[in-house]
Structure 1
Amino acid sequence: MALAQRLALQLAQWPMATRIVLLALVPMLVLVGAGGWWLRAQMHQSLLASFEQVLRDKAQRVGARLQVGPQGGLRDAGGGADEFSAIYAGWYWRAHAGASVLRSRSLWDMDSLPTEPVPASGSPVLHRATGPMQEPLLALATPITLGPPATEAALVVYGPAAQLQDSMRQIDRTLVLAAMVLMALAGALAWMQVRVGLAPLRRLEALLAALRSPQGPGPDVAQHLSAPTGRDLQPLQNELAGLLAHNAQVVARARAHAADLNHALKKPLALLSAQASTQPQVPAGEVQRQVAAMAQLVDRYQARTMSDALLAHPAAAGPAVDVRECVGQVLHMMQRLHAAQELAWELDDQAPGALLWRGERADLEEVLGNLLDNAGKWAASRVRLSLRVRGEGDGPAAAWVLEVEDDGPGMAPAQLQAAGQRGLRFDESVQGSGLGLAIAGQIAQAYGGQLQLYQSGDLRGLGVRLSLRGLG
């Protein structure tokens, strides 16, 4: 078992093309070897059977002319010239009945020929023998009955086997050559099949290698990987494109988090720097407030970064978030933050039943805080929130929608198109960094949702529609 495991590990390190070719050629080699051996045996057996029939015919002819003499000895009554007449001609016979022995003229002065006791391979009755000139022979022993009087005799007929052996060797050479040609052809076909079969993998490898080159496709990874590589690899190609696009999105969000944190920390640092430049000593209370603000910013963006990691594995997310409760808490906080403006905050809740969302509470609070804070900054007197459910039932297909409208100056069509770009501000007189809508849109996109800006029909100001899937 250990040897088999080591062999399997070694084979696993070989290239895939090599393993596929071996898997095709090894069974082919076994099949060709077994088939060639069987065919060789059949052809050898057929040649030996033909030679055996020739010897039987000659033994019958020789036996027909043998007679028993007056004194009980054997004698040849033929007397004619045949293949057994020429000395050492290659055809021989020898008969004996009791003590009487008779042999062909071709044997001349040799009494018998050395014969192997074991039958030749491929024939149960033929035996190998060696002739007077050390030539190879095949012998067939057959019993005959002579008479009158009836006498049992044993007749052995010998025939030259050189030509037969040459034919067998020629058959062997032909079969070996045919097997080699067949294996070479099978190897070439297997190599061609592997080349054609693995061509989609090579094309996919080239596409992936191009992603790392300096002249790569850039951020448009999905379009780059949409190049056709083959029907069989299309699902894998789509999964790779989705994975790379998701990774690119995570990296982009990580960079955006760093930029957001950088912008967010500038304000408390700038306040501390301004106070330090105008006063010899900065009050400890002010330092503590700014440090606490910076710590809160770091915690918030760390939580957002952790939520990005959880988006890659939704099963690892925490319990579902009560959207109504979260909206109510953020709305209450904004009412206190913008209390000096004496705004009228309205909440139109049209969502039936419990409204639970599978996501991170920190992300939802971040989105709601940015949207409501932006509305509070620009509203003249009124902000309206509308909460409803889009779609049927629960699950990933259903979504909840929050609309935030204000009666502020709103935006021109061109500004609606450009709004949401990072750091873009249309009015420098209003405090802010221009990141609120960009952060909200980025979080919504990460959860597969949408953030849309429009001109409010009732309040005439800006309207923001937030749609997030994943009701639980």
Structure 2
Amino acid sequence: MKHHSLKNRLLFAAGGCCVVLILVTGFTVQRYMKEYLRSELVAKLTLSLDELLSRLELEQPTLLTVNNAGLSTPESRNVIESSALPSLRLLPIKSLSEPRFSQPYSGYYWQIQTQQQILKRSRSLWDTQLTFRHLDDEFGLDYFVKSGPNEQPLMIVQQKVKLPDSEVFFWVSVAQESGSLALALQGVNRSLGIGLGLLALAVMLLILLQLTWGLRPLTTLRKELAEIENGDKAQFQYHYPQEIDPLVKDINRLLVHHQSLLEQARTNAGNMAHALKTPLSIMQNELALTTQPQNPLLQQQLVQMRQHIEYHLSASQIAAKQLLGAKCSPYEQCSNAVSAFSRLYMNRNIVVDITFSEALTVAVDGRDFDEMAGNLIENAYKWAQSRIVISASVDEELLHIRIADDGPGMTKDECEHVINRGQRLDEQTPGHGLGLNIAVNIAQMYQGKLSLQRASLGGLEAVLALPLRNRL
């Protein structure tokens, strides 16, 4: 998960909750289904138990009658009971409605017993019997699971009863193999797992769609911000949801405020520059009319003051263009510069190759780029023997434009000396344009840099690194 992705964080949280809820639901449904199937089996066995109990009956004791002659006759009105105790023999039990009680080892069994002996058992038990470690002394139904004749699990429903005219308690047990219950439960669990898995997948897809749709205003906000950065818009214009709209309005107010402050600063700087230019021009003209010894020194100071004014005015304009979303195409600007210098140096027969894409853009005003790249291309034309190569590569957020020639080049120390010799405008030679130091200053104002090194062609390679203009 990306730590800085709001969408992934929400998706992970919602997906985790969804998985937990589905697992809890699956466990709960599985438990209730198990209880339901077991209760259904117990209810079915209870019906068979009730049917067996309805057919449970003891053999009646033997009765004798005597007449006046001492002979035993059935017609005598005087009836006496024999001294024999009633036996514990049960009358034969007819087959139950479930035919599998009569099939050997069918999985359906019943048995009737006392504490001391087993009185009756189903034909399905054949030559075996159900044995219990203890018999429940409580009246009412009791059900439990134990191993059957073939070591298969049996669900047993048992009841303690007492028949009329008998002081002996009987335990009646009805059993059914519970393997079918396990198979049914496995089928239910399989279907439940597949259903819940599909449900989880569907819920995750719905959550993903919901998050994508819900976070779409943030994507629009990012696109509008890129357009403002590119200079295509001055402020946000899209109508955002009420949770984001106050923030967007605050940013719009901040943009308007900064833009007004910037325009005011530019106006003040321009007014000051123009206000100083006129007195300086008058002083310079007056000094030109006199021949006093201090005039060269005064002239030099006036020139430096003028250069300071021009430099700082240019710097304020560059900063303003940065904030207003300046951009240009390096390929187009370099092509125009090459076209101009090829006519100027047409007698040199220099071949120029521009090898990078036309789609690349940098966050630099076109005129400032011309001042930087134009100076470097002109230097390459001055020193090249026959070929100049202009290439570019992207490194993170910077576009590295390389202008290489096959001229004599410079050593590493000479390159550093040229770049670091001076960073102030007043150290430039009048009448020679901005030069390398001005190009360095302009590049730095755009958060870029200029460096010189030995080219693979053998001459000098100037590397101008400028910030890319993001395009969404």
TM-score under structure 2 length normalisation:
0.49
TM-score (norm 1): 0.49
